[in-house]
Structure 1
Amino acid sequence: MATFEDLATGLPAVHLVEHVTGGRTILRFCHDGTGRLTTATDTRLRKVGLWAIELRGLSHYQRANKAGDFSPGQPVRLMRQPSNEFDPNAIAVAAEGSRAVVGFFNRQAAKRFAPVLDAGGADLRAVSIEGDPPGEAGRVIVLIAEPRLVEHVFGPRPATAAKPAHWA
């Protein structure tokens, strides 16, 4: 099994690439060494500081989902909700520039990131890697990581990287 850390640079050995599935363009992690795509929920990503979180509760916030821009690559807003009756670590997500909640982090992710956000959250960046433009409402997956890691995975793949397996 390929490691997700580039031991020479200390950065993840993955980058985000466009992938079309079901008529939608999403971003998927592609291993630089093998060219293989991996799911956003692959636990090896977390070991290198990349958390991809599928939002919960979207069906309750269809209007906000349809109004917001959750296209892949769009930044999103994270909002702590410590007085949430269901989870004191709750983290709500909205489109950038909006306060209209579209969904929530799952409990595990909320517990992990609530203290960071409570401390100011300056060390985090959140970006949609799967979602829809305004006017459409579907599944939303958010990447959350340190800014340098987000910049890395959105950056160009190394010239020596294996061709993504889905590029025929």
Structure 2
Amino acid sequence: MGISEWLRSVFGGSNRVPEQLSGSELTYALVDERRNPRPAGDPASDEPPGRPYFSADEAADAFAPDERGNVHVAIREGFFFHPPTGKYAPPGNRTLSKHGLVSFKVRGVAFYSATQADTSPGLPARLVREPSNEHDPNAIAIWALNRSGQAVKVGYVNRGRARSLAKRMDAGEVVEAYFMRGDRPGSSTSGPPAVILTTGDRMVKLLSDADG
């Protein structure tokens, strides 16, 4: 069974809340970084010291496709890694998004069960549409499994990304998503989880530190 098939066997192929989760509270945490900035030193908001990072312009050049159309990138320690130069870029990098590797930090984790869930890099993240959400009809919740194999809500896709992603999901597309940064249940050393939209096979390659 391939990773994509396993993902569907665990969570099912629907973009809607599974039946066993239908009684869960589906409120939307409206987290705005401009009003609620993360504290200095948070590994999700700042670039942790000790690693070389790309500037925005450098990343645009480094992650541009080569003459064969390949983008040279891997995932290491929750960040994008460029093997030829040894430099890093955080989740949400715009150049990589343009080239098909859309990623984002999970929002609202403080209001949900992020520390109870296993959000280790490489594990599937289940995206669930909440069209009846009173705060945002484009809301997309992010779920993961806990130690007992039960699905728990981790947080939400940011509102800007949710607008475009909701259209795809509402049209019937099953969007594969995986955690590129996160922790095992009970730990929060990596900072808030981050998710990448990609296939299971591509995720394996990205995490293998091969030149993706």
Indicate whether 1:15 and 2:86 are aligned: no
The runs of 4+ residues in structure 1 deviating greater than 6 Å are none
> How many pairs were matched up?
148
Which secondary structure does the structure 2 equivalent of 1:111 belong to? helix
> Residue 120 of structure 2 corresponds to which residue in structure 1?
71
> Residue 115 of structure 1 corresponds to which residue in structure 2?
167
Indicate whether 1:141 and 2:194 are aligned: yes
Which secondary structure does the structure 1 equivalent of 2:162 belong to? helix
State the TM-score, normalized to the length of structure 1.
0.76
Whole-Å separation in 1 of the counterparts to 2:202 and 2:169: 17
- Return 5+ residue gaps in structure 1 as ranges: 18-25, 162-168
State the TM-score, normalized to the length of structure 2.
0.61
Whole-Å separation in 2 of the counterparts to 1:6 and 1:148: 19
Whole-Å separation in 2 of the counterparts to 1:132 and 1:14: 22
Structure 1 or 2: larger strand share?
1
Which secondary structure does the structure 1 equivalent of 2:132 belong to? coil
> Residue 35 of structure 1 corresponds to which residue in structure 2?
86
- 1:32-66 per-residue CA deviation (whole Å, 9 max, x = no partner) reads 332211111221111111122111111111xx222
Indicate whether 1:80 and 2:129 are aligned: yes
CA-based RMSD? 2.3
**Alignment partner for residue 203 of structure 2, among 150, 153, 159?**
150
**Alignment partner for residue 89 of structure 1, among 133, 138, 145?**
138
Whole-Å separation in 1 of the counterparts to 2:183 and 2:208: 22
> Residue 178 of structure 2 corresponds to which residue in structure 1?
127
Whole-Å separation in 2 of the counterparts to 1:79 and 1:32: 34
- Return 5+ residue gaps in structure 2 as ranges: 1-57
Percent identity reads 34
- 1:2-42 per-residue CA deviation (whole Å, 9 max, x = no partner) reads 2413334423211112xxxxxxxx32211133221111122
| Superposed displacement of residue 136, structure 1 | 2.7
